[in-house]
Amino acid sequence: MRAIIIAAWLATVLAQVVPKWYMDNEYIRDTLNRDEYNTNNAFKSPIDTKNFPPIIPRPTEEQRTLKSGELPSYVIDYAPYVHLYLEERYMPYDIREFVTHFHVENKNGKVFPWTQNGGLNISLLAKLPKSRDLFLTSDEDFNTDPDWITGVKNQPSLVDGKIENAPATLIVVDKGNGWVDAFWFYFYSFNLGPYVLGNGPYGNHVGDWEHSLVRYYKGEPIIVWMSAHGGGGAFFYDNLEKHEIESTHPIIFSARGTHANYVSVGTHPHDLPYEILCDFTDRGPLWNPSKNYLGYFYDGSFVQPIEENQNPEHTGREIEYGDWLTFTGHWGDKQLPSDDPRQVYSTIGGYKYIDGPRGPLAKNLLRIIPCERAKWWNFWNGCNVRENIKYGVGIESEGYNCGNMFVHVKSQFIRKTLQMVTLGGWFCYVADLVYG
Ligand SMILES: *[C@@H]1O[C@H](CO)[C@@H](O)[C@H](O)[C@H]1NC(C)=O
């Protein structure tokens, strides 16, 4: 028993120290030549490399899959839908509107005066120096939950899942030899961090970039990867849940507050042992980002707006706005100082308010394996592509307990209805007590 307690304690301490060390070394890791790193290893799993040609992050003219600036229609056909959390308080937001609430400071608090008093807009982001130490800094107190932080108006349409005022960002990257990566970026103005052992939240930040990747080979979707807390999960497209009517679209689930993405509904433990730290997903509003997006093509050096098949609503507009992707700073305030009354620190949870994240181009878009990066404990840099959807656990989970009770019901209609009426209700609760 004592050994278990010591091991748990050690794991907790390591989980504090090692990520810090890891992040400090992020710059070094970013500059590793990833093109040479793991070449010919598309999946980092034994099943595949013999069946597919290698992925090439910067293909030459002959190796290319697409024309420069091309958006193949399959990228739209297989775009993931995102179930937001039912009681989500921080909805997706329009980056163009978002930046007008900020000025820019460097890490020492030095202000760029021309960005003050409403001087900043999305196209001017490109005019800032190329430094990682810049922070979009709120003009007013974000902590009072103004509408531009909650995005309260940005509910997906019940008809087609479109969010009228919050475009997603699509970045297509040609990986050569028939491979194409489609990165869907989801922006939320605020990340509400997790509670740890009843205390929190910890790890809140202004600005929240999450993303998914659909990897295609010759127009067929092969893998879907989705981001969660700097890590994420990779799955074969075939195994993901699909939209009931538009059955080419896979479905992913955005967790409460953190907007980390998962393949299933329920409780998802992450980062710490046992269930100290968990995310929660459910079947809240269904967002279809492919109905409203800003589309770009990235060749590893330059970003350009999509030229063919552009989203008709945005034709021409991204040309003006495309430069914003070259902003290398942080999309939200710097971690609040310890003497700020809003800041809180605990040994287990860390700080309540941390740095805003960096933008899409800082997310390893030239990756060869489908994972963005490996977590600290994954020192072998493995990126297992899963066939089984790992179900969430707990009373909200459909796959793990309650919903699973009906898998043998033959009629799809009755099965779905049973799953629906018992979701999250007393029945699931009892089932969880008995079988959980
Ligand atoms: C941003 O501001 C500059 C300078 O005032 C202006 O020329 C440009 O059109 C603005 N862009 C947007 C997207 O509002």
Residue 115 alpha carbon to ligand 1 centre in Å? 12
Residue 125 CB less than 6 A away from ligand 1: no
Residue 122 alpha carbon to ligand 1 centre in Å? 8
Nearest to 207 by CA among 70, 92, 58, 337: 92
Length, in residues, of the chain = 436
For the CA of 124, the closest atom of ligand 1 is: 1
- How far is Cα 275 from Cα 263, in angstroms, rounded to an integer? 18
Alpha helices in 79-225 (DSSP H): 95-98, 147-150
Task: Tell me the average confidence (pLDDT) per consecutive run of 10 residues in the chain, 436 residues long.
Answer: 69 52 36 35 47 85 93 96 97 97 97 96 94 96 96 96 95 95 98 85 96 95 91 88 94 96 87 74 95 92 80 64 90 95 88 96 90 64 72 60 58 70 51 50
Number of other CB atoms surrounding residue 361 within 10 Å? 16
Ligand 1: residue whose CA is nearest its atom 8? 123
Q: For ligand 1, pick from 98, 100, 114, 124 the residue to mutate: most ligand atoms within 8 Å of CB.
A: 124
- Is the distance from CB of 192 to CB of 163 less than 8 angstroms? no
Residue 100 CB less than 6 A away from ligand 1: no
Residue 121 CB less than 6 A away from ligand 1: yes
- How far is Cα 112 from Cα 127, in angstroms, rounded to an integer? 11
Number of other CB atoms surrounding residue 376 within 10 Å? 17
- How far is Cα 250 from Cα 181, in angstroms, rounded to an integer? 15
Residue 126 CB less than 6 A away from ligand 1: no
Residue 323 alpha carbon to ligand 1 centre in Å? 12
Residue 294 CB less than 6 A away from ligand 1: no
Q: At what angle do helices 426-435 and 412-422 cross, to 10 degrees?
A: 90
Position 126 scores a pLDDT of: 92
Residue 123 CB less than 6 A away from ligand 1: yes
Position 29 scores a pLDDT of: 35
What SS3 state is found at 130? coil
- How far is Cα 358 from Cα 206, in angstroms, rounded to an integer? 11
Tell me the whole-structure pTM to 2 decimals. 0.81
Position 97 scores a pLDDT of: 95
Position 243 scores a pLDDT of: 94
Residue 309 CB less than 6 A away from ligand 1: no
- Is the distance from CB of 276 to CB of 239 less than 8 angstroms? no
Helix H or strand E encompassing 296 = strand 293-298
